[in-house]
Amino acid sequence: MSTQNLSQIDDLAVATVRGLAIDMIQKANSGHPGLPLGIADVAYVLWQQFLKFDPSAPNWPNRDRFVLSAGHGSSLLYALLHVYGYDLPIEELKNFRQLHSKTPGHPEYGHTVGVEITTGPLGQGLCNAVGMAIAEERGRQRFGKDLIDHYTYAITGDGCLQEGVSAEASSLAGHLGLGRLIVLYDSNHITIDGRTELTFTEDVGLRYQAYGWQVLRVDGHDRAQIAQALLEAKADNERPSLIICTTTIGKGSPKLAGSHKVHGAPLGPDEVAATKRAIGLDAEQFFAVAPTVAEHLRSGNAQRQGARQAWEKRAQSLEGQQLLTELAGATAANLHQVTWPTQPVGPGMSTRKAGEAVLKALAPHVPQLFCGSADLGHSTFAVIPGEDYVQKGSWAGRNIHWGIREHAMGAVANGLAAWGGYIPVVSTFMVFHDYMRPAVRLAALMGLPVIYAYTHDSIFVGEDGPTHQPVETLAAMRTIPNLVTLRPADLTETCAAYAVALQRTKAPTALALTRQNVPELPRPAGMDAHAAVARGGYVLSDAAASLKVVLIATGSEVHLAMAAQVELERTGCGVRVVSMPSIELFDAQAAVYRREVLPLGVPRLCIEAGSRLPWLRFSGETGDVISIDTFGASAPDKVLANVFGLTVDNVVARARRLVG
């Protein structure tokens, strides 16, 4: 094919992608046409000349990762997946944004073939890409470049780079020297409310140079410039690259190009027709892909498939089999090999410190563990003892310093988990869950096996005061669908909580761990504590006398319930103590089991150093809740226990009141 003919077929291919995108949006009468029209040249050059992929095996491990951080432009991604031959038929494009379609409003991981990550909240996708790039760097050093040798690309917009979370992650990426991370910035100077000059006048390029990135600038509609910049970006393996692509939002639309009006609304039938004529398409045809375009774009698929098959042969090596085993993520099969830490009944240990002992025991048997905290490793202990920390040029370690970047930590961890072969354990004080909640929510939506080791889980943080006392946080965490929260009471329950988390391979798990020491609790002979905790709630100590009241507690409050049981039983009041580390897991049990643990007609007293809201349905009209429904205070933990009624005397008094 001559150079002129090749240029013409490239022009038609880009126009086809644009046409499909605006057809999807117009048929749905919903969507964002501005970005797909504006960034189509950039995306086409990337996919046609640089991106390593195989539509016949979308998830092969050594593919390049492509993240559309500006997820509102999803119609662009769906158009690309279709024209390159992924299993996304034209009927799905016609069902854009419709119920149960494979083309939802924003890309969804695990739902649409070829979608690497769920993007929607701006900036999250860029952070996910940083996580994927970390995974690649570490994988290449561990397994060799014959097995791991790929790039991570992301398309971002002005909104992504205005969100603070992207600044956190970009700073980390520059520090780590992620040379195989290439971000293409769709700089069209438009946001929903108007031109970026309203609020966003900084020099983004200088900011990224300060982060330690290579910064390149191109005309985002000049395909030769785009290709040259991508070559330069790939040539610099010491720094991540930001390619600033100056584009016209809605390019090709005669009336709306360059306007904020094209950002988030369909063009309308007349403007769709006018746009198609302007970019060289038949205005009377919809969802059209010319045979010459399809043949041109898919002609490279045989070579792409061959590259993937050659990799699969290399992966038959011992290193390759280890890589594939880790990617499969079958951690539960190894748990029987773990020698779980134990301690005698009585002596105290904080559950944050217990967590460190558990991670040390797990590490030899769960190679996917990758741990780090937001500058709190010496406080949360959520690290693997004896393991190195990764740094630029040194990727063998299993710990990472995230820095004081809770929001990015959560989002980057999602990228690691989505890349495969990682179970990130990320840690901070529980009160800072609110900083990372958007990323936690997305992990739950995607079903990613991230473990959140939150410590300092109550007012017993003490003198740090109400700013650091998460009285409402447990209740908020328990409202996130597909996230299970466990608040273990001692070392035994902490072991079981980690076992539960590691078996949840399609969902994230949050652990609420104490700052203060708690006693190791006695258990009935023969009890399988791991099985009991996995059910969310269980009878830790049953009544010796006729059952009069059930005490339900979590975490550090379980020992209060046990001590109160002793006092009440002395007066002939039969008391059952139920430890309920996870409301969500308990709710998932069969009704017959729940009734065995919490018999009908027996009053219940719930005890937790947090909001009463999660417990009202357990206490019912005849029960009571000892809780904290105001902000805490700055004082030593024992003083706070007295002020807020978290004492044995108060538990006994409230229980006697219920019994009458």
Cite the active site residues: 406
Spatial distance between the Cα atoms of 322 and 98, rounded to a whole number of angstroms: 41
φ, ψ at 607 (rounded to 5°): -135, 115
* Exposure letters 81-94 (e unless 16+ CB within 10 A, then b): bbbbbbebeeebbb
Q: Strand 152-157: give its sheet, edge to edge.
A: 65-68, 152-157, 181-187, 241-246, 214-219
Other CB atoms within 10 Å distance of the CB of residue 101: 18
Spatial distance between the Cα atoms of 128 and 409, rounded to a whole number of angstroms: 10
Amino acid residing at 310? A
Q: Are strands 194-195 and 214-219 parallel, antiparallel or unpaired?
A: unpaired
Other CB atoms within 10 Å distance of the CB of residue 337: 10
Q: Which of 547, 596, 539 is nearest to 575 (CA)?
A: 547
Contact yes or no for 577/558 (Cβ under 8 A): yes
The residue to which tokens 């993520």 are assigned: 329
Spatial distance between the Cα atoms of 642 and 139, rounded to a whole number of angstroms: 52
Instruction: Measure the N-to-C terminal CA separation of the chain; round to a whole number of Å.
Output: 92
Contact yes or no for 212/238 (Cβ under 8 A): no
Spatial distance between the Cα atoms of 136 and 138, rounded to a whole number of angstroms: 5
Query: Exposure of 595 by Cβ count < 10 A (0-12 exposed, 13-18 middle, 19+ buried)?
Result: exposed
The residue to which tokens 């293409």 are assigned: 184
What is the residue-wise DSSP string for 482-508? Answer: T-EEE--SSHHHHHHHHHHHHH-TTS-
* Exposure letters 200-213 (e unless 16+ CB within 10 A, then b): eeeebbebbeebbb
Amino acid residing at 184? L
Continuous segment of H or E residues that includes residue 653? helix 648-659
**Count, residues in the chain:** 660
The residue to which tokens 């830490």 are assigned: 341
Alpha helices by DSSP H, 120-268: 124-143, 158-162, 164-176, 204-211, 223-235
Q: Which two tokens stand for residue 207?
A: 């900011």
Provide the 8-state DSSP code for 613: G
- SS3 (DSSP) at 99: coil
Spatial distance between the Cα atoms of 269 and 109, rounded to a whole number of angstroms: 31
Continuous segment of H or E residues that includes residue 187? strand 181-187
Summarize the chain as % helix, strand, coil (round to 5): 45, 15, 40
Q: Are strands 65-68 and 152-157 parallel, antiparallel or unpaired?
A: parallel
Q: Are strands 518-519 and 484-486 parallel, antiparallel or unpaired?
A: unpaired
The residue to which tokens 């043949």 are assigned: 295
Beta-bridged to residue 521, according to DSSP, are none
Beta-bridged to residue 452, according to DSSP, are 426, 510
| 40 Cα distance to chain centroid | 28
Provide the 8-state DSSP code for 72: G
